[in-house]
Amino acid sequence: MKSIYLRSFAATALTVAICFLIVALSFVGIGRNYVIAEYRENMENSAREVAHTASAIARSDSLSSWVLSMTISSVAKATGDHVFIADENGLVLNCSDRTPLCEHLGQRIPEEILGLARGGLCDQRSDLGGMYSAPRYVVGVPVAARNGGEAPLGYVFVTNASDTMLGTWTAFLMMAAIVAVGVFCAALLVTLVYSKHMARPLDEMARASRKFAKGDFSVRVRQTDDPSSEIGVLIDSFNKMADSLEQSEKRRSEFIGNISHELRTPMTTISGFADGILDGTIPQEDQHKYLVAIRDETKRLSRLVREMLSVSQTRARATDPSRRTVFDLTELILQTLLSFESRATKKNLDVDPQLPDNHILVRADKDAITQVIYNLLDNAVKFAEPGSCLVLKLYKEKGKAYVAIKDKGETIPPDDLPFIFDRFHKSDRSRSLDKDGVGLGLYLVKTILVSHDEDIAVKSENGYTEFVFTLALADQEK
């Protein structure tokens, strides 16, 4: 497969070449026509000046006079044109050639050319009936009569070969072509270098992606571009993706290690006690105690599997937009709070629900948000000091509904705070379901809120721990 920078270079080079070709053709065509038009305008001016001079001289002399011959010879030498004068019938009487026996004298101008001159101006390309070996540009104007009559005395013709007219233009065109080729080569070189520079991050991303496929997530793409440019943003996003993949791989490894440990412990206990009962190692009078232990470990193992399945199912439901409806968050909090009445009473907890008088409507998956509130309340009740106060607060701010749950109890260590929402994080305070579950409560809370594009924060200091999460208000949707 061709390198992307070569394809980019080829496309750019082709574009530059086409643009140069269009400009060159336009320049040649327009420039050539401009040069010819300018030259012919000069020829017309020369013809009219000679006609004016011939008309003045003809008042005292003829159109074939030596003075007029010298005049048109000077004009021809100065302009490079060929000038001759014909009478009213088209017979050549005078010529700018200074040869004693000019071949043009006595020749007759074709009638069609003469007719155009009678009309005031002849501007044609013609060989004048064989007077020239090849067609030339011909400009002819009438010579006004002495007494101002309508019939002209004769006609002045100025001619020039196209090679002469375009000689200077051709030389200029050659120089322009050399410069254009130089500019084109320089443009191709710059394009090649720039294409290679532009393709470098993509090549690095491709190499990094191949390493990702082999399980190596440590490679990163160098940020050499402006971070605010498109390539810079792409590199930054790619590196962030790599960071996320690396973290995901670490979490996956940790999860496998943790879940292996969680499964191994009850299974080892069950197997060991069962073998002791079967082989008689455990006395018969103690078997009931160990059978109870086997039952408890079996239930723990069952809870572990159930919790993992619950997490997977809840994540799938929470990400389904069709399950989201508008409901009263105040009412949902009160309903969930009622389910903890007996547990709060048992621990002698004083519950302070600081809820607004007005209903707060939000749009979300009601069942999932119920799970969030339940898990956070369960966490607060479980770790609150007996006889302390548990505060549950609901309020609105900047288009969001905020739910805060605060309890007084053991403070979460600062080093554990960034990780308390991870699965199976090894901290007694963060494992919200440690006694009755497997440590997936806060992880499930975080997962549900992230799927709703919401956030949750935790603060634990001075013996108080507070969780605060947000939900979008229903009336804020567009």
Tell which wins on pLDDT, 455 or 64.
Answer: 455
Cα separation, 478 vs 469, in Å, equals 22
Burial tier of 43 (Cβ tally within 10 Å: 0-12, 13-18, 19+): buried
Cα separation, 328 vs 330, in Å, equals 5
Domain 323-476, classified CATH 3.30.420.40, yes or no:
no
Please give the backbone phi and psi of residue 155, each rounded to the nearest 5 degrees, phi first.
-145, 140
Residue 438 near residue 458, CB atoms below 8 Å: no
Tokens of 175: 């120089």
Residue 373 near residue 421, CB atoms below 8 Å: no
pLDDT tens digits, 238-252: 888 888 888 777 767
Which residue type sits at 80?
G
pLDDT band at 1 (very low <50, low <70, confident <90, very high): very low
* For the chain, domain boundaries: 4-167, 230-315, 323-476
Instruction: Indicate the SS3 state at residue 466.
Output: strand
Tokens of 154: 């004769």
Residue 162 near residue 136, CB atoms below 8 Å: yes
Is the pTM higher than 0.75? The answer reads no
Tell which wins on pLDDT, 392 or 113.
Answer: 392
pLDDT at 435: 44
Which residue is associated with the tokens 């940790």? Answer: 254
Tell which wins on pLDDT, 194 or 409.
Answer: 409
363-398 burial, b at 16+ Cβ within 10 Å, e below that, comes to: bbbbebbbbbbbbbbbbbbbbbeeeeebbbbbeeee
pLDDT band at 434 (very low <50, low <70, confident <90, very high): very low
Task: Single out the residue of 229, 203, 230 nearest to residue 8, CA to CA.
Answer: 203
Domain 4-167, classified CATH 3.50.50.60, yes or no:
no
Cα separation, 352 vs 333, in Å, equals 12
Tell me the C-alpha to C-alpha distance, in Å, between residue 398 and each of 452, 470, 478. 17, 11, 15
pLDDT at 149: 62
Report the topology of domain 230-315: Helix Hairpins (1.10.287)
pLDDT band at 473 (very low <50, low <70, confident <90, very high): very high
> Residues, the chain, total?
478
Residue 429 clears pLDDT 50, i.e. is over it: no
DSSP for residue 98: -
Tokens of 166: 């375009």
Residue 430 clears pLDDT 50, i.e. is over it: no
Cα separation, 461 vs 286, in Å, equals 47
- Range with the largest mean pLDDT of 12-16, 129-133, 448-452: 448-452
pLDDT at 403: 95
pLDDT tens digits, 290-336: 888 888 888 877 877 777 666 666 666 666 778 889 999 999 999 99
Residue 423 clears pLDDT 70, i.e. is over it: no
Burial tier of 1 (Cβ tally within 10 Å: 0-12, 13-18, 19+): exposed
pLDDT at 390: 93
Identify the H or E element spanning 289. helix 287-318
pLDDT at 255: 65
pLDDT at 427: 52
Task: Single out the residue of 46, 117, 112 nearest to residue 87, CA to CA.
Answer: 117
Cα separation, 366 vs 359, in Å, equals 15
Cα separation, 143 vs 370, in Å, equals 109
Mean of the per-residue pLDDT values for the chain?
81
Query: Which residues are within 8 A (CB) of 116 and not within 5 positions of it... i.e. 6 or more apart?
Result: 122, 123, 124, 140
pLDDT tens digits, 38-61: 888 888 888 888 888 888 888 888
